Amino acid sequence: MRSRHQVPAPGPEVKTTGGLVRGITRRDVHAWRGIPYAAPPVGERRFRAPQPVVPWEGVRDGSRYGPVPIQERVGEFIGAGRTTPMDEDSLTLNVSAPTTPSTEPRPVMVWFYGGAFVVGASSAPTYRGDDFVRRGEAVFVSVNYRLGALGYLDFSSYGTPERPVESNLGLRDQIAALEWVRDNIAAFGGDPDRVTIFGESAGAISVTTLLTVPSARGLFHRAIAQSSAPGMVFGQERARAWAARYVTALGADDDPLAGLTTATPHQLLGAARVLRDTLGDQPGTIPTAPVVDGDLLPEAPLAAFEAGRAADVPLIIGTNDTEGRLFELPRLRMDVLVSEERAAQMFALTQPELREQVLAVYGGTAFRRDLGGDYMFWYPSVRVMQAHRGPVWAYRYDLTTPVLTLMGVRATHGMELFGVFGLADKAPWLTLLGGRRDLRAMQQRVQDDWIHFAHHGTPASHWPTYDADTRLTKILDRADRTESDPRRERRLAWQGFRGYD
């Protein structure tokens, strides 16, 4: 009996800076998986900036994804699944390209996954990207980067001249991957002068942050931020206080550097759980996030946008209708201000004078379902929309299905991924009660826009640019429409809110 699944054929060999890689070919797509873009960040390289890739002898097998970064196993939709190998040696990326020849180099789309900087992997089935390759005549790249304590807690104050420790390691990984793309992507048929970075959630925070990192300038030329939380970048004083709590949870107060560099991954994850459980005094923060370190990241991204110091590349940016509702679900609970008491505490620590005017506009809503998502994702994204010096196309994703409506989450955080990655026929639970036709039509429109943007720097559809006067925003729904200044009352209530440092 013939298998239902096509067995991949050996693909072409490509020479990279590390050596030769042999890919696989399946359904008109060449794929090269698990390509190292930096040296393994293990041993003396733990908590160090990524180092140049270690060359290999012979031809490397590119048929399998590399190990996923160290993380909790919390489900394959946003994480690494339960069976994928996991290892600190995870700084790899994957490249997919059309099998058809081309006389011109193709645009490159580089994907950064989400997961609150604590879970995620480029090997998750959600992020295959084959639709962009087949439909868009593009080269698709997905990147692993370090997560959690290994990637985003700031332990730099514990370093010594003999054993330095750098900050923002996950962000540095992403920059190293973009440098690899610059130096290698032409061998895969890609155009190093037409690179679009895009991501969702933590991946979108990465996008909006990279727009403000001086050393990332010139490594990409367009950007798409899907549900970014641009304000989830914190000052070094706060970040180092979180690092100190982590060291205590690890039991390494006597010799923090030794404890950090010799702990097992299991011990590192255990300390991260303790840190997470002790952050109740700082609602609406995540300790695993980029830090304004005065080195790689000289200032807060929102401040850089508003001062005109962000890279002025074309930008698509938007959020979903009900961002915060995802985090009410069991096993996905996060502190997105899911109670009035937590919100009051957050305002007391940030700008108490704005508390009453903000809370007043949510009086007629299910409180915990709306304010948290607006605080973390929507309003900071609006600040980017109105401040960015390059062309901006703004959206709000509203499409829901009967199942999502019945669950009470509607178009919540992450739901646009089904359209972007063409998953209408791969997630039957989502359309169990109907809505598949609408989702199929949505994925066609969204992919058309994303692909055209990668090729030309503009969306394919009629989509006016955003500016601070008209605030024209595309509402992605069963029938797309354009609105001027959607949720104006909420925006005015939040106006002037700066958040944590």
Predicted confidence (pLDDT) per residue in 203-254, tens digit: 999 999 999 999 999 999 999 999 999 999 999 999 999 999 999 999 999 9
88, 179, 200, 323: the catalytic one is: 323
Q: Strand, coil or helix: what is 373?
A: helix
> In sequence order, which ranges of 28-155 are alpha helices (DSSP H)?
130-136, 148-151
Confidence (pTM): 0.96
pLDDT of residue 369: 65
pLDDT of residue 1: 37
Token pair recorded at residue 317: 């940016």
What confidence tens digit (pLDDT) does each residue in 75-107 have? 544 556 566 789 999 999 999 999 999 999 999
Q: Return mean pLDDT, the chain.
A: 93
Whether 413 sits among the annotated catalytic residues: the reply is yes
Amino acid identity, position 467: D
Q: Strand, coil or helix: what is 20?
A: strand
Residues in the chain with pLDDT < 50? 1-4, 76-77, 367
Nearest residue to 144 (alpha-carbon basis) of 34, 252, 253, 251: 34
Question: What does DSSP say about strands 29-36 and 20-26: parallel, antiparallel, or unpaired?
Answer: antiparallel
Pick the CATH number of 9-234+291-332+368-483 from 3.40.1190.20, 3.40.50.1820, 2.120.10.30, 3.30.479.30: 3.40.50.1820
Whether 323 sits among the annotated catalytic residues: the reply is yes
Name beta bridge partners: 316: 224, 393
Sequence-ordered list of residues with C-beta below 8 angstroms from that of 177, at least 6 positions apart, any chain: 37, 38, 91, 93, 110, 141, 143, 145
pLDDT of residue 328: 73
Residues 473, 452, 115: CA angle, nearest 5 degrees = 65
201, 206, 227, 381: the catalytic one is: 201
pLDDT of residue 77: 46
Q: What string of DSSP letters covers 191-256?
A: EEEEEEEEEETHHHHHHHHHTT-GGGTTS-SEEEEES--TT--EEHHHHHHHHHHHHHHHT-SSSH
Residue 443: alpha-carbon gap to chain centroid: 19
> In sequence order, which ranges of 311-366 are alpha helices (DSSP H)?
340-349, 355-360
Nearest residue to 159 (alpha-carbon basis) of 242, 256, 254: 256
pLDDT of residue 335: 56
30, 388, 413, 455: the catalytic one is: 413
What confidence tens digit (pLDDT) does each residue in 362-420 have? 876 554 568 889 999 999 999 999 999 999 999 999 999 999 999 989 999 999 999 99
How far is the C-alpha of 282 from the C-alpha of 339, rounded, in Å? 14
- The ranges assigned to domains in the chain are 9-234+291-332+368-483
pLDDT of residue 367: 47
